[in-house]
């Protein structure tokens, strides 16, 4: 379980360093089956950010809404905040009109 947390943290580091989104998704794909329920929300946020950078806003929003559900179930307010922030970015980047004004 600690290995999946390390990979998720490394994915966020790669996102912050503007590494290619495909590379981030590949990192996450390898640990997806092993991600525990308590870490799934953060995993989904990282995957959504990478998907949005690849121009897949629908996939990103799906992951982010799932992350919100997981965060609520496990009372992870920080994960919920990350998810809401990422949702706002998806709408802003994709020209979601009024929805981008979150």
Task: Map out the domains of the chain as residue ranges.
Answer: 2-101
When pLDDT is averaged across residues 9-25 and rounded to a whole number, the result is 96
18-63 pLDDT, tens per residue?
A: 999 999 999 999 999 999 988 999 999 999 999 999 999 999 999 9
Which of 1.25.40, 1.20.140, 3.80.10, 1.10.10 would CATH assign to domain 2-101? Answer: 1.25.40
Task: Quote the CA–CA distance of 23 and 9 in Å, as a whole number.
Answer: 14
Give residue 5's pLDDT band: very low, low, confident or very high (50, 70, 90): confident
Chain mean pLDDT for the chain: 91
Q: What are phi and psi of 21, to 5 degrees?
A: -60, -35
Quote the CA–CA distance of 50 and 22 in Å, as a whole number. 7
| Dihedral sign of CA atoms 59, 54, 19, 33 in order | positive
pTM above 0.85, yes or no: yes
């Amino acid at each position: 379980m600690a290995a999946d947390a390390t990979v998720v943290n490394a994915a966020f580091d790669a996102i912050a360093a503007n590494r290619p989104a495909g590379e981030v998704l590949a990192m996450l794909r390898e640990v997806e089956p092993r991600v525990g329920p308590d870490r799934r929300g953060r995993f989904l946020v990282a995957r959504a950010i990478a998907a949005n950078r690849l121009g897949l806003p629908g996939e990103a929003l799906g992951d982010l809404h799932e992350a919100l559900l997981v965060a609520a179930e496990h009372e992870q307010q920080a994960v919920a905040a990350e998810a809401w922030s990422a949702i706002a970015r998806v709408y802003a980047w994709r020209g979601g009109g009024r929805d981008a004004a979150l």
